[in-house]
Amino acid sequence: MKFPSYVLVLLLFLNLWAFESRAQGNTLEILAADVLRGANGFERLIGSVRMKNQSSLIYCDSAYFFRNENMARLFGNVRIEDLEDPVKTRSAYAEYDGTTKIAKLRTQVVFSNEETTLYTEFLDYDRVSNVATYFNSGKVVDSVNVLTSERGRYETNLERITFTEDVVLVNPDYTMKTNYLVYLTVPKTAETKGLTNLISKEGNTLDAQEGSFYDTQAKQFRFYDGVVETENSRVKADELFYKELEGYYEGKENVRVLNKERQVEVFGDVGKYWEERGYSEVYGKALVRKYFESDTLYMAADTLISQDSEADSAKYLLAFNSIRLIKSDLAGVADSLVYNYADSTIQLFQDPVIWNDKSQISADSMVFYIQNEELDHVFMKDNSFAITTDTLSNFNQMKGREMTGYFKDGEISRLEIEGNGESLYYALESDTLTQGINSTLSATIKMVFREGAIRRVTYGVRPDGRFIPIQKLEEKDSRLEGFRWRIEERPDMELINAWRKPEEIDPNGENLFEIPDVKILMPSDEDIRKSLERGGFIPEKRLLVPLKKN
C-alpha cells in the first residue's frame, strides 16, 4: 500500500517532534555563570556555575559544556542535588551526561542519602535507576555503623548497599570483616556470604565459614558454620543463632558447647545455651567430653543438661537415657547420670554397670569419685554386686546391701561390703592352679586385691563360710545369686565414634583479621610525576652534561 506524500511528510514531522521532545526533556540547561565563553556546540562556563537536567540541579566552579553531546565536564566544588529525592553528591570533578543521566564523580566524592553518607574517590551514579557504584575503595557511614570495602553498589530505591572485596563493618560494639556483604540502611541489617570474622569490644570472636546475618540494632546474629568464642565458653554449630542482649545461643546440626573453666564440652544435633546462667541443653545423639590433663572422659546420651551457676552446689551435668561412658581406666552404662562439678562425683542410676580393668561392679545406684584425674573410689547402694577375674579367668564374686570399692593405678585395690555380705572367690596355687572355692556369708567383708587377684579377706563377727575343693565343685556352687557377667555391654571408643565423632575445629583456619590491612606499594617515576603535576608543580626538563675533568 502506498501512502500519499503529505502523509509521509506528516509522519516524519511527528517522529522528529517526538525525538526533539524527548531530547528537550533530557537537555542540560545553563541557569547561570559569571562568565560564558565559546560557541559552535562547546561552551566554557566560569564562576558560580548552575545547570539543570530535569529535576537535577548542578553546581560547580567551572564547566565545559558540550551542547551537541548533551554532556558537561564539571570542575571544583561540584554539587548535584535532586528536587524530588534526598540524594546529594559532592566531588572535586565530575562528568555528567544529560541523555543517560549518568554522573561520573571523581576525587573527594561525598554521596549522601538522608542519614547515610558514602565517601570515595571514584563513583558512577545512574540517576535513572538511582544506583551508585564505586570501584576503588569506599566508606559508608550512618548513625550506627561504618562500612568500608574496595567495591560497592548503592541502590537508593531499595536502601540496599552491596559491598565486595575487603569489607569491614565497624560499630561501637563490633568489628566485622568479610568479602561480600549486603547492608540494608533502614533496618540496619548486614548479610554476608562466605568467610566472615567478627571481634567484639570485649574481645569475643564470632566466625562463620558460610556467611551470616546480623541485625546491628537488635544485636542479633545468625551464623552458618559458625563459632562464637568468649573468655569462658565456645559455641559452634552449622547454624548458630545468637542474641547478644540476652546472652542466648541456639544451634542446629553439629552443635558443640565448651565450658572452658570446667573443661567440659558437649555435642549434639540441637543445642541451647544461656551464657549468664551457664546453663545449656543439648539434644539428639548427645556426647560429652570431659578433658583432663592427660586423659578424656567420653559420655554418650540422648539428652544433656549442664548448669554452671555461681553457687558450687548448683554446678552439675545431667544426662538421660542410655548412658555410655568411656575413660582410659573405666567404662560404664546406666539409664541416667549426674556429674557434680563441685566434688567431681558421678552418680549413676537405674541398673548402672561399671567395668574397670578385670572387674565389673553393679548396683541399683552408684557414685564414683575422681581425684587427680584418676578413679579414686566408688560407692554402690542396694543390690551391690562386684565381679573380678583372676589369672585363670575365674569369676570372684562379692555382693551386699552397700559396697565401697577403692582403686589404685587404675585397678581395684580394696572392696568393703556393709550388710548381708556374701563372697565367693577361688583359691589358687601359685596363680596357676585352682584348689577350690571359698564361700562366705558375713555382715561385713573386706577384701584386698593385688594385680586383680584377692590377697587378703577380713570378715566381721561370726562369719559363716565353707571351702569347696575343686573335685567336689558343681556349677551351682560357682555362682552367687544375681550373677551376670555383662562384658558384651561394655562400651568402647568404636561405639562412641559410631554414635558421634565431631569434626575438630581447625585452629589454623583462615581469619581475615590475621591479614595485614596496610599494603605498601612503591610508586613508579610516572606516578610521582603525575602526583606533582596534580599539585601544580611541573618539573623542569634539564639536559645532563658530563662534568669536565680539570
Cα–Cα distance for residue pair 239/225, rounded to 1 Å: 6
Count other Cβ atoms within 10 Å, centred on residue 531: 11
Contact, 253 vs 223, CB < 8 A? no
Q: What is the mean pLDDT of the chain?
A: 85
Is 50 exceeded by the pLDDT of residue 78? Answer: yes
Secondary structure (3-state) at 18: helix
Q: What is the pLDDT of residue 3?
A: 41
Rounded CA gap, 243 and 249, in Å?
A: 7
Residue pair 152/164 in contact (Cβ under 8 Å)? The answer is: yes
Answer whether 224's CB lies under 8 Å from 237's CB.
no
Say which CATH class 1-113 falls into. mainly beta
pLDDT at 529 over 80: no
Q: What is the dihedral of CA 493, 297, 209, 119, to 10 degrees?
A: -170
Letter for the amino acid at 23?
A
Indicate the fold that domain 351-491 takes in CATH. Answer: lipopolysaccharide transport protein A fold (2.60.450)
Contact 72, 47 (CB under 8 A): no
What pLDDT band is residue 9 in, cutting at 50, 70 and 90?
very low
Q: Mean pLDDT, to the nearest integer, of 483-500?
A: 93
Residue pair 401/419 in contact by the 8 Å Cβ criterion: yes
In tens, the pLDDT along 244-291 reads: 888 898 999 999 988 888 888 989 999 998 888 888 899 999 999 988
Q: State the pLDDT at residue 472.
A: 87
CA quadruple 458, 461, 464, 466: dihedral positive or negative? positive
Query: How far is C-alpha 213 from the chain's CA centre?
Result: 12
Rounded average pLDDT over 496-505: 90
pLDDT, position 534? 67
pLDDT tens-place string over residues 454-487:
788 888 878 898 899 988 888 888 899 999 999 9
> According to the model, what pLDDT value does residue 82 have?
87
Task: Tell me the DSSP string of 113-160.
Answer: ETTEEEEEEEEEEETTTTEEEE-S-EEEE-SS-EEEESEEEEETTTTE
Alpha-carbon span 348 to 319, nearest angstrom: 10
On the CB side of 541, CA atoms within 13 Å amount to 0
CA angle 516, 520, 525 (to 5 degrees): 165
Percent of the chain clearing pLDDT 90 (strictly above): 49
Cell for 533?
603535576
Q: What is the mean pLDDT of residues 383-393?
A: 88
What amino acid is encoded at 359 in this protein? S
Q: What is the mean pLDDT of residues 209-236?
A: 90
Highest mean pLDDT among 118-122, 280-284, 528-532, 534-538: 118-122
Q: Is 479 left (phi over 0), alpha (psi -120 to 50) or beta?
A: beta
Backbone angles phi, psi at 15, to 5 degrees: -65, -45
The CATH 2.60.450.10 domain(s) of the chain lie at 1-113
Taking the chain, what is the end-to-end CA distance rounded to the nearest angstrom? 99
Task: Give the model confidence (pLDDT) of 151-178 as tens digits.
Answer: 999 999 999 999 999 999 998 888 999 9
Residue 112 predicted with pLDDT over 90: yes
Across residues 56-72, what is the average pLDDT? 94
Residue 546 burial (10 A CB sphere; 0-12, 13-18, 19+): exposed
Report d(CA 460, CA 311) in Å as an integer. 42
Q: Read off φ and ψ for residue 19, nearest 5 degrees.
A: -65, -45
Query: How many CB atoms lie under 10 A from the CB of residue 309?
Result: 13
- Residues 449/414, Cβ–Cβ less than 8 Å: yes
Which has the minimum average pLDDT: 38-42, 118-122, 172-176? 38-42
pLDDT at 550 over 70: no
With a CB cutoff of 8 Å and minimum separation 6, the contacts of 366 are 347, 348, 352, 354, 378, 379, 380, 381, 384
How far apart CA 364 and CA 461 sit, in angstroms, is: 27
Q: Mind giving me the DSSP string for 432-501?
A: TEEEEEEEEEEEEEEEEEETTEEEEEEE-SS-EEEEEEGGG--GGGG--TT----GGG---HHHHHHH--
Can you tell me whether residue 365 is helix, strand or coil?
A: strand
Per-residue pLDDT, 523: 63
What are phi and psi for residue 402, nearest 5 degrees? -130, 150
Instruction: Report the predicted TM-score, pTM, of the whole model to 2 decimal places.
Output: 0.75
Q: Single out the residue of 136, 140, 150 nearest to residue 111, CA to CA.
A: 140
- Output the pLDDT for position 538: 57
The mean pLDDT of 407-429, rounded to a whole number, is: 86
Residue 111, C-alpha cell as written in the block: 554521596
